[in-house]
Structure formats: structure tokens, C-alpha cells
């Protein structure tokens, strides 16, 4: 690293050339990285862009129309801690280049070290703009390989967490990850059922926010089945994340039938019985298809579980439980009789009297479904 001399009074102070902005040639106070990978002082590069330039001053490569300036914290810290003294001597801090975003991207390879993935996660978490550069690099494929591997749970954990942050960078990032093969990697992590299965489910939830990804994930032969197994056999957190992923996926109609075929309905009913509001919400989506209603009617204790939600659940849980029961009772006579035996009619009457909002209206609709003639006068 060459050095440049700066005079302060009668003293000559030496700074490395890398500390100086390529535009102003002054020591940088706020170094930032542009899309080309080069670093400039923020004020200098901003003036360059504002004056109508659309290319990098060094590489001459075009800059995006909405050019993102990524803070180079590592270089800023290095400059701040660099103490030049007269005579060209200086105190140089020992700061690893591994925290420099450019270094991270250029040096990352498979298998990555724990330190490398930790640094990548930290930067991806703290610098949203960096995630865009990350998406366009080779890093996603490396992260996905670690996400699928069971060899090192710690590396898998770091990779999955970084992928979650990467997926938060917008729909293009989510679609890009699916195109890079994210579903296969995440399904492998789910199927292994290890300590990071819940993180894989969370990542799938984030990817499924995009409508086209709902279809693509659902069409994968093992995605919804793997979530159903996790919902059935996982620990509390696993079950919560699996239910949330299914909720997002089942907003796409065809995925409701896929969830039924994967055996998700009994697991959702049992999870609802354990107090999961999210499970009831998923059931309210699946109940919109005939296959879903038939599957619910065949689960022992189905009506009893939802009747319990009506009595002890949250407002949202009660609202969705009413919808589920109304869907199924409207279609299947056996369930109507079970609802009568479980006292659902009386519970609905109480809810109608207590609530004049959506819950009250849903309760009235269910009551009319169970016993139409008795409640005509309540309209």
C-alpha cells in the first residue's frame, strides 16, 4: 500500500493512498461503495452523480439509475484508527479485511468458514443495500449449498439466517433465490428435521410472499409434504414456523389440495388444540376446498377442538374457527350433528349477544347453518 504525504503546519503526515477519495484525493471521512465495487468519499461521489454522470469514475462502468451508496464501515474504522505521526511513522491498527464487503464477496468459496459466514450475516443484517450486491454475486449458491448440508449445523444456521435477510430485499430477490435452486436446498434442510429445520421453514415463508413462488414451491413434490411432517413431528418452534409457511402457501388455491394430500389437516387440528391461532388460520384456507372439508370431518375431535377455540381462543382465532366450522357444517351433515352435540349452537348464541362486529356476524351465520329455523328471527 503506497502512502501520500499531507502537511499539517510544518509536519508531514503520511496516509495510505487507499484512504484517499479517487475524486477529491482527500482522506475520506465517509467512504462508500458504489455498484462497480469501488470506494469513494460520499460527498464526492454524490456530487459526481448529481452532476449528471452515470458511470463509475474509475471503471467507467454504468451505475444503476438509483445508485446505492453502501457505507464501507471497515475502511472508515481503519481511517479513524490510523494515527499518523511526523516523520512518516504511524500506528497501524490490526483490522482484518474480512469485514470489508468487497473482500467478503470476492473471497467467499465453498466450503466457507464460520468466520466468513458470520461476517456475511452481520453485513447482510446491518446493511440492506449490501444485500443487493450479495444477490448478484456467487454468494447465494454457496449459501444454498451450506443450507442443504447436514455436515455442520453451525454453518447451516449461518447460511439460513443470511438467506432470510437476503430474501427480505424484495420480490426480485425472492424470485432470484428460487431460480437459484433455493427450494431443493430448503426442502433438504426441512426433511433432515435437525435443529435448523425451523429456519428453513421461515425462509420458505419469506420466499412464498411472491405469488409465482407460491405456485413453484407448492409444485415441488417434497416441499409441502416436508412442512407437514415438521408440523406433525417437530418441536414447538418447528411447528409454528411450518404452520406459518403453510398459511402463506395455502393462499394459492391448488396448494390447499396439496396440503390435504400431504396429511397436513390432522396435524393442523391437533396444533390448533394446543392453542395455535395460526393453525386455525390455515384450516380456514384449506376449508375452502372440498377435499379439505372432507379431511377435517374425518379427524377425530375436530369439532371439539374448534369449539374449544370458540370458548378460549383469541379474537382472531375465534373468527377463523367460526369460518372453518361454517364451511364444514354447510357441506357435511355429520359435522352439523357433532357441532350440536358439542354445544356449538349455544356458544354461537353467546357470541352473537356479546359481539356486534365480525365475530358476531360469523357466529350468527354458523348458528343458522346448524339450526336454520331457530335463528331466522335474529337477522
| Average pLDDT estimate for 84-109 | 57
* 26-64 pLDDT tens trace: 888 888 888 777 788 999 999 998 888 888 898 888 888
Between CA 147 and CA 166 the distance in angstroms is: 13
Q: Which of 74, 79, 71 is nearest to 103 (CA)?
A: 74
* 136-186 pLDDT tens trace: 888 999 999 999 999 999 999 999 999 999 998 888 899 999 999 999 999
pLDDT over 50 at 231, yes or no? yes
What is the pLDDT, as a whole number, of residue 301? 96
**All cell numbers assigned to 360:** 358476531
Q: Which of 355, 354, 352 is nearest to 379 (CA)?
A: 352
* Higher per-residue confidence, 38 vs 119: 119
Between CA 110 and CA 119 the distance in angstroms is: 15
Query: What's the chain's Rg over C-alpha atoms?
Result: 29
Cis preceding linkage at 360, omega within 30: no
pLDDT over 60 at 1, yes or no? no
Between CA 358 and CA 301 the distance in angstroms is: 26
Between CA 57 and CA 155 the distance in angstroms is: 38
**Would you call 361 helix, strand, or coil by DSSP?**
helix
pLDDT over 50 at 210, yes or no? yes
Give the pTM: 0.73
Between CA 112 and CA 108 the distance in angstroms is: 6
* 172-208 pLDDT tens trace: 899 999 999 999 999 999 999 889 999 999 999 999 9
What is the pLDDT, as a whole number, of residue 13? 54
Q: Which of 285, 210, 205, 273 is nearest to 238 (CA)?
A: 205
Compute how many other C-beta atoms are within 10 angstroms of the C-beta atom of residue 247: 20
Length of the chain in terms of residues written: 379
| Triad 320, 298, 364: Cα angle to 5° | 35
Between CA 98 and CA 101 the distance in angstroms is: 8
Amino acid at each position: 500500500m503506497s502512502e501520500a504525504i499531507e502537511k499539517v503546519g510544518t509536519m508531514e503526515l503520511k496516509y495510505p493512498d487507499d484512504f484517499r477519495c479517487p475524486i477529491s484525493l482527500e482522506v475520506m471521512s465517509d467512504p462508500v461503495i458504489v455498484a462497480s465495487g469501488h470506494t469513494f468519499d460520499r460527498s464526492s461521489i454524490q456530487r459526481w452523480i448529481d452532476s449528471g454522470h452515470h458511470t463509475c469514475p474509475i471503471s467507467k462502468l454504468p451505475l444503476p439509475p438509483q445508485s446505492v451508496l453502501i457505507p464501507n464501515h471497515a475502511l472508515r474504522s481503519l481511517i479513524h484508527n490510523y494515527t499518523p505521526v511526523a516523520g512518516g511513522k504511524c500506528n497501524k491498527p490490526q483490522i482484518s479485511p474480512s469485514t470489508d464487503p468487497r473482500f467478503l464477496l470476492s473471497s467467499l468459496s465453498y466450503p466457507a468458514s464460520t468466520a466468513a459466514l458470520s461476517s456475511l450475516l452481520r453485513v447482510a443484517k446491518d446493511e440492506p443495500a449490501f444485500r443487493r450486491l450479495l444477490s448478484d454475486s456467487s454468494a447465494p449458491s454457496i449459501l444454498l449449498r451450506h443450507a442443504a448440508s447436514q455436515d455442520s449445523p453451525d454453518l447451516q444456521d449461518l447460511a439460513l439466517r443470511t438467506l432470510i435477510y437476503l430474501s427480505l430485499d424484495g420480490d426480485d430477490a425472492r424470485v432470484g433465490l428460487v431460480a437459484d435452486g433455493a427450494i431443493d436446498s430448503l426442502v433438504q434442510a426441512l426433511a433432515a428435521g435437525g435443529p435448523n429445520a425451523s429456519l428453513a421453514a421461515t425462509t420458505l415463508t419469506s420466499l412464498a410472499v411472491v405469488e409465482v413462488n407460491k405456485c413453484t414451491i407448492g409444485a415441488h413434490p417434497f416441499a409441502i409434504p416436508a412442512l407437514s411432517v415438521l408440523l406433525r413431528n417437530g418441536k414447538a418452534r418447528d411447528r409454528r414456523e411450518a404452520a406459518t409457511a403453510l398459511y402463506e402457501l395455502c393462499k394459492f388455491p391448488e396448494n390447499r389440495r396439496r396440503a390435504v394430500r400431504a396429511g397436513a389437516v390432522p396435524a393442523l387440528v391437533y396444533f390448533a388444540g394446543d392453542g395455535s391461532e395460526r393453525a386455525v388460520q390455515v384450516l380456514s384456507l384449506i376449508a375452502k376446498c372440498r377435499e379439505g372439508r372432507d379431511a377435517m370431518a374425518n379427524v377425530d375431535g375436530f369439532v371439539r377442538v374448534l369449539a374449544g377455540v370458540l370458548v378460549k381462543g383469541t379474537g382472531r382465532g375465534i373468527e377463523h374457527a367460526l369460518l372453518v366450522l361454517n364451511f364444514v357444517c354447510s357441506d357435511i351433515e355429520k359435522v352439523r350433528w357433532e357441532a350440536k352435540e358439542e354445544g356449538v349452537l349455544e356458544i354461537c348464541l353467546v357470541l352473537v349477544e356479546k359481539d356486534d362486529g365480525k365475530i358476531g356476524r360469523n357466529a350468527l351465520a354458523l348458528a343458522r347453518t346448524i339450526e336454520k329455523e331457530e335463528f331466522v328471527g335474529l337477522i
